[in-house]
Amino acid sequence: MKIGDNVRFLSETGGGRVAGFKGKDLVLVEDEDGFQIPVKMNEVVVVGDEDYDKRTPPALQSPSHKAYQAQAGQGTAEKDATGKVAPSAYAGPRTNSPVVQERKGGERLSAYLAFVPIDAHQLTTTRFEAYFVNDSNYYLRVCIHTVEGASYRLRQTLEVEPNMQVFLEELGREDLPQLERLSIQMLAYKRDKPFLPKPALATELRIDGVKFYKLHTFRPSEFFEQPALIYTLVENDRQPKPLAVDAQELKDMMYSRPSTDPAQKGESGNFRPQTTAGGKDTSGALVVDLHADQLLDTTAGMQPADILDYQLDVFRRTLQNYARKRGTRIIFIHGKGDGVLRQAIINELHYKYKHYTHQDASFREYGYGATQVTIK
């Protein structure tokens, strides 16, 4: 259900056009006289031909494709012992769903949170649609929270049927800061048949609002016909690494003072790029810290441009030294800062070292301040 849809009332005659929403369970219906009537969402139903030009259609079902449906505000309400609908934090309208069809490979849990631009050609002004994708044969009871410091605030709760994608909400630029940190809890089960139990799942996401205005972050997927930004919650029963990072430990590691050990310097006294113990991190990658206070004894008299040139020179010489050692992974710690050094490194990799692959280094170990390069 979206603004502009034609709806009719279920418990009485009449209807109108959706003019807006109020809270999580009220829709404002504008009648022929222009009056806006607040009505519970589960008391109205969409009628007539819907305009799907502005809504991202789900991927079409085919014999070789997963069957997905996207229902705006689709949720399954619970009933009490008397058969009445029990109140829920998620009070979307109930829609008729087809008989649940299980698919091969769906016994392992896979679930995603997806964001789709309504107009991908106008990323600076467009709004976005959020979807929850259940790519498994299990029902999922889902709770979505926003994280504010050490506190959690419930944003939405819903039940998602097997092999379905559910429309959550429409978002604008002003809404993105609220989604910077999300916590999502999931409980998997089946109805009316035996099943192998799955452990309750909980994961946290960091939603970077800047990505929503970069075209390359929206990519094709099997769930949508248009490019989407998709976050993995669980895939084939495996969860991504948690985002829990010890901030103090990360700070100490990235900004620790350079060692006074002569072994850290070359015979001529010039700086030798400092690495972790043994020259490699826990994954076996070489680590090079490009912070100015790690490379130089002092920066007195140096301009920012001079420091940047020196850092890039260390970066280039390191790659040159390992040019013949294919498969070597090198992690360059550049810090987050203003992003000048990171952008300069990315430019070097794009134009001078195209044959090398690169990616963000482990967030758990380096936060947003390191890039991993693989020698090819």
Provide the whole-model pTM: 0.45
Total structural domains within the chain: 3
Find the Cα–Cα–Cα–Cα dihedral 190, 194, 200, 204, rounded to 10°.
-40
**138 burial level (CB within 10 Å; 0-12, 13-18, 19+):** buried
Is 1 part of a structural domain of the chain? Answer: no
Is 57 part of a structural domain of the chain? Answer: no
Higher pLDDT, 6 or 182: 182
Express each pLDDT in 130-141 by its tens digit: 999 999 999 999
Residues 339 and 260 occupy one common structural domain: yes
Q: What range does the domain containing 189 cover? A: 70-234
At 125 the pLDDT is: 83
Is 304 part of a structural domain of the chain? Answer: yes
Q: Report the pLDDT averaged over residues 285-292.
A: 86
Residues 202 and 296 occupy one common structural domain: no
Residues 229 and 259 occupy one common structural domain: no
Q: Report the SS3 class of residue 37.
A: strand
Express each pLDDT in 148-188 by its tens digit: 888 899 999 999 999 999 999 999 888 888 888 899 999 99
Q: How far is the C-alpha of 193 from the C-alpha of 206, rounded, in Å?
A: 36
Is 337 part of a structural domain of the chain? Answer: yes
Q: How many other β-carbons are positioned within 10 Å of the β-carbon of residue 47? A: 11
Q: CA angle, 358 as apex, 357 and 360 as ends, to 5°?
A: 155
Residues 81 and 218 occupy one common structural domain: yes
Residues 252 and 337 occupy one common structural domain: yes
Residues 212 and 77 occupy one common structural domain: yes
Express each pLDDT in 10-68 by its tens digit: 767 778 888 887 777 788 888 777 777 788 887 887 776 444 334 434 443 333 333 34
Residue 102: give its domain's CATH number: 2.60.40.1600
Higher pLDDT, 194 or 365: 194
At 107 the pLDDT is: 92
Residues 273 and 358 occupy one common structural domain: yes
Is 61 part of a structural domain of the chain? Answer: no
Residues 173 and 34 occupy one common structural domain: no
Beta strand segments in the chain, E: 6-9, 15-22, 26-30, 36-40, 44-47, 70-72, 111-117, 128-134, 139-148, 151-160, 164-171, 181-189, 201-206, 229-234, 286-289, 329-333, 357-360, 370-374
Q: Report the pLDDT averaged over residues 180-206.
A: 91
Q: How far is the C-alpha of 32 from the C-alpha of 17, rounded, in Å?
A: 9
Residues 272 and 359 occupy one common structural domain: yes
Residues 166 and 228 occupy one common structural domain: yes
Last residue in a domain, options 234, 260, 289: 234
Residue corresponding to tokens 């034609």: 6
Residues 278 and 154 occupy one common structural domain: no
